[in-house]
Amino acid sequence: MVCSQRVLPEYNEIIVSTSTHHVEWQQRLEWTLRSRALVLLLEDDAGVRAAVIHDLHHRYQQRRDYTPELVTVPERGTDAAFMRRIAAAVGLTPQRSRYHLFREFEAYCSRQYAADKRVLLLIDDAHHLRLTTMRVLHSLSTIVVANDLAVGMVMVGRGELVKQLQQVRWRAFESRIGLRVRLPARETKAA
């Protein structure tokens, strides 16, 4: 079966046109994470998004080189509340300040890295990110242990997130995204 895909250069986005590309986009996801870039998966159907992110969580739990952590972006909330959510996902006791939470998370990443693992944050409902919560993710994505980035990130959200990322104020974070995959609901459900 011949399958096609388009790469949109202005967005560096792959639009999966048939479900047979499932393996291919997952391979690209893996290569992107190995190159220490971030991944953005776009899907407007909430059920498909949930299935994709839970599948990724399950698959990466089986691996020895990653510690996957599933975090859902709240519709409303502060950057400190979002950082508390991330800290709770990795089993840390939420502290009062965002600074202490960040330092604790950094220490957690160091412990994982010492065990030959990278922390993989699987961010669900990424379309709810606002500038302040995006800054939290940007800060976490720059944690360095032994001259290597210690945190990988896969964000799953609705397609509207692409428009948000095109704004000037998001540029620093957007530049870290190495792969965007758009998964059409009508074709993904058939897989």
Per-residue pLDDT tens digits for 11-69? 455 545 444 456 777 888 999 999 999 999 999 998 889 999 999 999 999 999 999 99
Q: Is 15 helix (H, G, I), strand (E, B) or coil?
A: strand
**Tally of domains within the chain:** 1
What CATH number corresponds to the domain at position 70?
3.40.50.300
Phi, psi of 55 (to 5 degrees): -65, -45
This prediction has a pTM of 0.84
pLDDT band with cut points at 50, 70 and 90 for residue 184: low
User: Which ranges constitute the DSSP H helices of the chain?
Assistant: 22-34, 46-61, 79-89, 98-114, 131-140, 161-165, 171-174, 185-188
Evaluate whether residue 2 is within a structural domain. Answer: no
Residues spanned by the domain of 99: 12-188
CA distances from 142 to 76, 136, 147, 189 (A): 24, 10, 11, 35
Structure tokens at 167: 């704004």
Copy the structure tokens of residue 155: 């964000």
Please report whether residue 7 resides in a domain.
no
Q: Nearest 5°: CA angle at 61, between 34 and 26?
A: 45
Beta carbons of 6 and 20 less than 8 angstroms apart: no
Q: What's the length of the chain?
A: 191
Q: Is residue 1 part of a domain?
A: no
Could you read off the pLDDT of 123-178 as tens digits, one per residue?
999 999 988 888 899 999 999 999 999 999 999 999 888 888 888 888 888 888 99
* 138 inside domain: yes
Residue 3 belongs to some domain of the structure: no
Q: How far is 17 from 188, CA to CA, in rounded Å?
A: 9
Which single residue is written with the structure tokens 């709770």?
88
Residues 98-130: tens digit of each pLDDT: 888 999 999 999 999 999 999 999 999 999 998
Domain membership of residue 6 (yes or no) is no
- Which residues lie closer than 8 Å to 7 by C-beta, 6 or more apart? 13, 14
Distance CA 191, CA 59 (A): 17
CA–CA gap between residue 174 and residue 65 (Å, rounded) = 25
Which of 10 and 124 is assigned the larger pLDDT?
A: 124
